[in-house]
Amino acid sequence: MTQHKFDALVSFTFNIGASAFQSSTLLRIVNQGRHGEVPAELNQWTDGGLEGLVRRRTAEGILYVSGQY
């Protein structure tokens, strides 16, 4: 796993908690190597579209796929 992918997942996990991440569909997608699906799955975790979480998940998705910090 590249550093930027790891960093994006750490940011996400810090926000939702380790136990939620361990049982998440996102972790299953990552483990299956379906990396292109990660940004869409991150966007499922916005508590119904809260603006701040939408921005955060979008940034994590960009970081995950492109390495753009």
pLDDT of residue 8: 98
**Entry pTM:** 0.92
| Amino acid identity for residue 48 in this structure | G
% of residues, the chain, pLDDT over 90: 100
Q: Region 36-55: what's the mean pLDDT?
A: 96
pLDDT at residue 41, as a whole number? 97
Question: What is the C-alpha separation between 57 and 67, in angstroms, rounded?
Answer: 14
pLDDT value of position 19: 97
How many whole angstroms separate alpha carbon 30 and alpha carbon 36? 9
What does the mean pLDDT of the chain come to? Answer: 97
Q: How confident is the model at residue 68 (pLDDT cuts 50, 70, 90)?
A: very high
How far apart are alpha carbons 53 and 13 in whole angstroms? 13
The residue whose two tokens read 């997608």 is 29
Give dist(CA 29, CA 48) in Å, integer.
21
